[in-house]
Structure 1
């Protein structure tokens, strides 16, 4: 397996490729962290640092499990801490037949899998191709489906609006303060940012606490909900685009 972990340096760009099936540590789900840390120390002057491997570190879309689906937990924590300490922009990986992106401690994990293989759950995942650019303004990508439609996009780091552009939402029920245009009609994607300030109630029993909810009249779940939930009162985002179906969860800190 020699040569499966290596790096490429071109001017301000550093690409590091790691073998997440290293037999020297036992095979699938293992990764050599000492070499990774030393390589990053040797190239601290690189402006853009990307690490690429096969297995994700953080579970995506419910597909969890050490070794077979993610890097072994202890090695994964050490691996990710190295990325954080050395200001790595993103870890690009595959393995799961899906597309997913998440930010952990300021580092992106971008997973794109498939290469033409059917997705694991066609109702929520889809065949896709990713277009990506990296320049002085940061990282930008868009995810295209088989019809050529851009289904997802990201610009990182996020460009927050100026203080004068923020709009205050008062407590209670009110009409939506804005309406997003249809994506196809608008010809561009839109970024909406919420900032919550306040003191949450004590909910040791895990009672959900709503921060923001949008819904139509009816008994179904709110199509969009942000709040705190669970015994740890973690920030959560729930999307329920299909009435009668379970919501999709995104968990934060």
Structure 2
């Protein structure tokens, strides 16, 4: 059966890149996407907040989309050091990552906070990419599917549709470690996520589900071919244009 969901390859730059580095990387990705002429997949880069505006201007007209790595739940106010979804939108972003495991761990973000941020993204006209994933201890205890279900039910807002929200599954233990689940394990996790979404929305079959966690050019084709995988949320490999483009090509 032919794939009906449009693949999305998203790069999460994390806390990397000064202006010169970021612009060079953005230009490399933009040039590669333009040269490839893809019309059947979406390519997204999510730079740190300091680079969103410059990167959005650098990739304009290339087809490359731009997103933020995080946003606050409020539109404005006394929240020193935070960035509102409206600010990201104002800089040219169309997506924003919320609930990444590094935010959940480093900043204590709960499912409720993640849900509020996803709703804030909608308020600003952005599509949130809601991240979920289990730790190594949870996987070894056989709790992977229950953890994913709990996080989904707590993090995905009411009113979510395939057009206004993306879900990214990132096993915490696979991020930046070079380790990845087996393809059947990835497929099983994604199938469970889609099943849980079926109880939350009438559009579960249309939702784009991304896999993240040590995705690189050499394993992208296999991971992206797993059942119910509609793209990737790429970390370290998104910092090299050639590597990121190889992953996008695999989609």
TM-score (norm 1): 0.33
**Larger fraction in strand:** 1
Query: Which one has the largest radius of gyration?
Result: 1
TM-score using structure 2 length = 0.33
The one of the two structures with greater contact order (alpha-carbon pairs below 8 A, sep at least 6) is 2
